[in-house]
Structure 1
Amino acid sequence: MPTIAPLDLAGHCIDARFIRDVPFFALADGTIHRLDNGHKVTEAHDGLLCAVPSFDGRSLLTGGEDGRICATDLNGQAKELSLIPRKWMTALAAAPNGAIAFASGRSAWVRSADGTVREILHERSVEGVAFAPKGFRLAVARYNGVTLHWPATSGAPTELEWKGAHVSVIFSPDNRFLVTSMQENALHGWRLEDNRHMRMTGYPNKVKSWSWSAKGKWLATSGAPAAIIWPFSGKDGPMGKAPLELGTRGDNLVTAVACHPVEDIVAIGYSDGMILVGRFGDQKEVLLRRGGKSAMSSMNWDTSGHRLVFGTEAGDCGVIDITA
């Protein structure tokens, strides 16, 4: 049976993940909690809005209501990487070359590894940012589509248009597809070789969590009473194909998903705090956690896939060891 080490915190957990196999929990109040030979706390922001791991996995990058972008590592120090006064930093991404991108309002900024910062203005507000797998291209989700930039050059951007509000964006691991989540209850995508559209609809709620499978052949998503898992292995991606549905529950929505780093299985978190794990091949499901105080807001595996860290909207967080 899996074992759970609970951690009860006060507040909305924006991001829960492992940094060098140490559990980190980033809360909306601006604190970052870590379980490293005891419970330790870092006061990183005056209000925290977004968090992603650095590409090398050595620190947690965070953006806040205080205009700061910080990196917090195992020593607990929140190193300030950038400060744009009076800006709420609402989106964040990290690249393999050490660059990071962050956004507020109609601006996106790219901070190179050497510390130089370039601002890129847009006509509409920037809702999401993502680097392509090699880090040379930056996607910016906006109203009515996505803008693709080459931040290291002054070349003209590429515009991918689709009506509606696009709120977050992600590249497939093989760089063949680009997918956005929308303010509507849908995903939209483009096949990048020819910019062909891909529509992924039918969700009863907004998609707020997604995760690529270990080999990038599947994209698991929240937003329905089951984890909706789209196939991306063929030339056309999910076009013309039905998704898998795992962990169907009639009375609760899936609010968080996290694909295993090695196997084709996915952790599925629900609006009542329950967590299941489901296998793609035979659709077998195993209960990892019964319901809690509130909706699951973030989950991530460690590098070995033996432990799952989770956080909820009410702060009942913890670590599940599936090998116990």
Structure 2
Amino acid sequence: MPTVAPIDLDDHCLCVAFVGDAPVFALASGLVVRLDHGTHRHELHDGLLAAVTTLDGSSLVTGGEDGKVMRLDADGTETVLRPAARKWVGAVAAGPQGAIAFAEGRTATVLMADGKQRAFEEARTIEGLAFAPKGLRIAMARYNGVSLAFVNGAAPAVDLEWKGAHTQVTFSPDGRFLVTAMQENALHGWKLDGKPGDQRHMRMTGYPAKIKSLSWSAKGKWLASSGAPSAIVWPFASKDGPMGKPPLELGQRADTMVTAVACHPVEDLVAIGFGDGMVLAVRIADSKEALLRRPGKGPVTALAWNKPGRLLAFGTQAGDCGVVDIAG
């Protein structure tokens, strides 16, 4: 039977993660709380907007309304990657070879591990950032599509156009697909490995609400998403991804919406957070459900598994946070 260790942080939790082995909770105020043999509080920003873990899980990178970009290491060390500035940092991303990217307005900046920097300018505000899983290539989501650029190359960025506002962007783990969340309650995807002339667009529509949470399954066969009364899980195993195939609908509830999803790091299993604070785990193969947390205060806004997949951290809009041990 799963056991829950609660922590009440009394503020909107934007992001949860495991840094090293310790759960961390990043709050909208700019406070990051780290649970590591006690409760450690790190005042990183005057207003937090974005947070992401590095690929090796050793650090949390954050951006805020104060224009700062910060890194919090597993031992509690705080590093200023970019000091306070005039523009808000609305998106951050972590990539291969220790690369970090952040977006402020129409500019994205990539910071390399060796201290080199590269800036990319767009005509419209950059809303989302993602690194390709291999090679230093960055995707920048904006109005009317995504720009794809090689960090170390001189070639101009490739434009993937689709009308509308694109607010998040993610690569599939194998790098074959790129998917964005849109302002208009839909996902849009591009097939990146097709031959010239192939149908490269994928439209994933029909959501009743905005999609705020996306998560790839361990091997990249599935993409789970929020924005409906169940977790909408799209199939990506075939060469054409979800084109012509219906999604799975997991954890269906009649009276509340799915607000956060997190796929298990090993098994084909999805943790699903709801608008009333409930958290379920659902197996993709047979839709079998396990209750991880009963309803609480506020919608679930963030979910994250630790690397072995035994612990699940959760955060809510009301700061009603905690860690679930699924083995009890």
Normalised by the size of structure 2, how large is the TM-score?
0.97
Give the whole-Å Cα distance in 2 for the aligned partners of 1:83 and 1:137: 25
Give the whole-Å Cα distance in 2 for the aligned partners of 1:165 and 1:225: 23
Q: Any residues of structure 2 matched to 1:243-262 within 5 Å, and which?
A: 243-262=247-266
Residue 306 of structure 1 aligns with which residue? Answer: 310
| Amino acid in structure 1 at the alignment position of 2:220 | G
Residue 237 of structure 1 aligns with which residue? Answer: 241
Residue 89 of structure 1 aligns with which residue? Answer: 89
Give the whole-Å Cα distance in 2 for the aligned partners of 1:232 and 1:75: 37
| Amino acid in structure 1 at the alignment position of 2:224 | A
Tell me: CA distance 1:187–1:13, structure 2 relative to 1, closer, same or farther (3 Å).
same
Correspondence for 1:290 among 286, 290, 294: 294
| More displaced stretch, 149-158 vs 169-178 | 149-158
Q: Any residues of structure 2 matched to 1:137-152 within 5 Å, and which?
A: 137-152=137-152
Is 1:201 aligned to residue 205 of structure 2?
A: yes
Shift of 1:125: 0.6
Is 1:64 aligned to residue 68 of structure 2?
A: no
- Conserved? CA contact 1:269–1:296, under 8 Å: yes
- Conserved? CA contact 1:41–1:76, under 8 Å: no
Deviations 1:220-259 (A, max 9, x none): 0000000000000001100000000000011100000000
Give the whole-Å Cα distance in 2 for the aligned partners of 1:77 and 1:49: 20
Shift of 1:114: 1.3
Q: Any residues of structure 2 matched to 1:70-81 within 5 Å, and which?
A: 70-81=70-81
Shift of 1:118: 1.9
Tell me: CA distance 1:84–1:160, structure 2 relative to 1, closer, same or farther (3 Å).
farther
Give the whole-Å Cα distance in 2 for the aligned partners of 1:80 and 1:268: 34
SS in 2 for 1:18: strand
- Conserved? CA contact 1:42–1:77, under 8 Å: no
Size of the aligned set, in residue pairs, is: 324
- Conserved? CA contact 1:47–1:64, under 8 Å: yes
| More displaced stretch, 78-87 vs 13-22 | 78-87
**What's the RMSD between the two structures over aligned residues?**
1.0
Structure 1 unaligned spans of 5+? none
Residue 213 of structure 1 aligns with which residue? Answer: 217
Residue 179 of structure 1 aligns with which residue? Answer: 179
Give the whole-Å Cα distance in 2 for the aligned partners of 1:269 and 1:16: 13
- Conserved? CA contact 1:25–1:33, under 8 Å: yes
Is 1:316 aligned to residue 320 of structure 2?
A: yes
Residue 229 of structure 2 aligns with which residue? Answer: 225
Residue 103 of structure 2 aligns with which residue? Answer: 103
Shift of 1:135: 4.1
Shift of 1:84: 5.6
Structure 2 unaligned spans of 5+? none
Is 1:275 aligned to residue 279 of structure 2?
A: yes
Shift of 1:203: 0.3
SS in 1 for 2:97: coil
Shift of 1:75: 2.7
SS in 1 for 2:98: coil
Residue 28 of structure 1 aligns with which residue? Answer: 28
Shift of 1:79: 0.6
Give the whole-Å Cα distance in 2 for the aligned partners of 1:57 and 1:218: 22
| Amino acid in structure 2 at the alignment position of 1:94 | A
SS in 2 for 1:118: strand
Residue 38 of structure 1 aligns with which residue? Answer: 38
| More displaced stretch, 100-109 vs 68-77 | 68-77
Give the whole-Å Cα distance in 2 for the aligned partners of 1:235 and 1:120: 31
| More displaced stretch, 194-203 vs 298-307 | 194-203
- Conserved? CA contact 1:293–1:316, under 8 Å: yes
